[in-house]
Amino acid sequence: MEKKKEAKEIKPTQIERWLRKHKLQYTAATRHPFVYSIHDGSIDFSSFKKWLEREYVFVRTALAPFAASVLLKAWKSVDSSDVEVMLVGLGYLNDEICWLKKEAPKWHISLTSVVVDHKPVLDYFRFFERLTSSDVKYAEAVTILWAVASVYHYGFGHCLEEGNNTPEEMKEGCKIWGNESFKQYCQSLENIANARLEEASEEEVSKAEVLILEFLENVVHFWSVSLGET
């Protein structure tokens, strides 16, 4: 009886509460028609090609600098052990860039001549540029880093689940984010984010929630552009 009582008293973490509260927005990102079309095999290869081009620019010019800024904030934090997790994340970004470079010739893509001029994509890039500011608190930044990893893991991981019709040409990319190792990385980020949010002020927690919603909205637009939507 005591064990059951203790189990009932376990409170959901801040991120768990947000995932329940904003389930529709989170699902819109992780089960976006672009990602789902990979899962069911209906994707137009030209859409995947467009995504490859923009993803390369995104990782190099927006996500990598942001991740590096989170690493710096982690280094300055009270618990410097967070740094090890951030370094793991940078390794995944490097793996992705290497994969994109390897894929480019297969799809006849010149990564040096990719032009990004769609407003939703540029807005997405600017969002991460803003987050590199020293004014952004560590709790806010690491929460968004978790959100990015989580959306990619549960989105592309779905493309590897039983019953998928993911084209063979796309499975290698899905495995970058859908594997068990990346799942553990996401969990480590979630643990860190929850710990930092517990220490944060109410204002910082509120700002982190607003940023999560802004990220989810941006990533949905990013996926949509690859389908030819604006």
Domains of the chain with CATH codes: 19-226 (1.20.910.10)
Q: List Cα–Cα distances, 51 to 14, 25, 98, in angstroms.
A: 32, 21, 16
List the one residue out of 46, 173, 167 whose CA is nearest residue 102: 173
Dihedral sign, CA of 70, 78, 16, 40?
Answer: positive
The pair of structure tokens assigned to 123 is 């807005």
Q: Quick one: pLDDT at residue 116?
A: 84
CB atoms within 10 A of CB 128: 21
pLDDT tens by residue, the chain, 230 residues:
455 555 557 889 999 999 999 999 999 999 999 999 999 999 999 999 999 999 999 999 999 999 999 999 999 876 678 999 999 999 999 999 999 999 999 999 999 888 888 899 999 999 999 999 999 999 999 999 999 999 999 999 999 988 899 999 899 999 999 999 999 999 999 999 999 999 999 999 999 999 999 999 999 999 999 887 65
Contact 157, 186 (CB under 8 A): no
For the whole model, what pTM was predicted? 0.92
Q: Quick one: pLDDT at residue 6?
A: 52
